[in-house]
Amino acid sequence: MPRITTELSFADRLGTCKARWGIGRMEYMVPPGLYAVGTPTPDDPVVVTANYKMSYDMVRSSLAGHNTWLLVLETFGINVWCAAGKGTFGTDELEKRVDSVGLATVVNHRCLLLPILGAPGVAAHEVQKRTGFTVRYATIRAMDLPSYLDNDMVTTPEMQELTFTLRERLVLIPVELVLALKSIGLIGGTIFLAAFLMGGEAAGTKAIIAWLGAVFAGIVVGPLLLPWLPGRSFAIKGGIAGLGWSFVWYLLAGGAAWSVPVSLAAFLALPAVSAFYTLNFTGCSTYTSRSGVKKEMRLALPAMGAVLVVSLVLVLAGRFL
């Protein structure tokens, strides 16, 4: 059985950083199976996690100074929360893995410590029935595991409550940018070309900066300012961030000289773009529901489409009238 260190090397930290930027993120995994952290005895606890390398690293580094067993499930390199949603961090895989590593012969007790965010995929009562092991949902965050273990395995209310701090939001943004890069480039190129054909190189450059600013407001500013932007809807929060960018751009680009239709178009289209990208951040958030996002999309997508069409008409009308 592999005995693993709780210290993260430079390569581990670099790997985390690369995954945050979307580099090799879908292949960032460790082999599933049973690992020994420290020098565990058959009486020591079994901690369960996913085989996404970043999840595995967070768990093993938080277990420094504790002797535990680490059971890593095959989630195909996906983190606990997303894998539980898909069902790969689930009852069947847990049963299979407990069986294949012969856990019942390795430990004397019959208890598994699971991350709380793994619960959407695991039916604790089913696991008990099928394997004889009792599931205990320990904590949400790996960093709370030491205090949980030292505290007679009692989950405090803080260990069980989700948060979405500035830092937690910040680390999610790079990969969102990278994932959107292709569409940002394609649409940006089209916008540049259209503006270039209509008004020359200066117009093209201005249009593409306006576009990039709106995208940035939607992907970076909206999520960072999330709790402080007014409204509950992500689209509205993003729209307000985009409106902020519209003002900034108006001042930077000498908006006072713009025609009325162009000014109107800018103040309509740019917030719509930002609204779309912030709405997409619902996928990263820890408190939005599927039904809520569906409702938002049913209202927001047609509205965004309409706003963009109106803006286009305004620009064209302003030119030909």
Partner 1 sequence: MKGYRYLSGVTTLELRPEDCVGCGRCLEVCPHRVFALDGTKARIIDLDACMECGACAKNCPAAAITVDSGVGCASGLINEWLQERKLRRVGSGCCS
Residues that bind partner 1 (CB under 8 A): 84-85, 116-117, 119-125, 137, 140, 155, 157, 160-164, 179, 226-227, 232-233, 279-280, 282-284, 286-297
Shortest spacing between CB 271 and partner 1, in angstroms: 17
Residue (131 or 265) nearer to partner 1, CB = 131
Residue (137 or 192) nearer to partner 1, CB = 137
Residue (121 or 239) nearer to partner 1, CB = 121
What gap in Å lies between CA 297 and CA 299, rounded to an integer?
Answer: 5
What gap in Å lies between CA 241 and CA 221, rounded to an integer?
Answer: 7
Kindly give the interhelix angle for 91-100 and 124-131, rounded to the nearest 10 degrees. 30
Shortest spacing between CB 60 and partner 1, in angstroms: 23
Residue (37 or 278) nearer to partner 1, CB = 278
Dihedral sign, CA of 142, 94, 70, 135? positive
Residue (22 or 318) nearer to partner 1, CB = 22
Shortest spacing between CB 76 and partner 1, in angstroms: 12
What gap in Å lies between CA 46 and CA 68, rounded to an integer?
Answer: 6
Q: H or E segment at 33?
A: strand 33-37
Shortest spacing between CB 317 and partner 1, in angstroms: 31
Phi, psi of 4 (to 5 degrees): -115, 155
Q: Which residues sit opposite 4 in a β-bridge?
A: 37
Q: Which residues sit opposite 169 in a β-bridge?
A: none
Shortest spacing between CB 237 and partner 1, in angstroms: 11
Identity of the residue numbered 83: A
CA torsion angle 128 133 135 141 (round to 10): -150
Q: Residue 39 in contact with residue 67, Cβ under 8 Å?
A: yes
Residue (96 or 136) nearer to partner 1, CB = 136
Shortest spacing between CB 269 and partner 1, in angstroms: 19
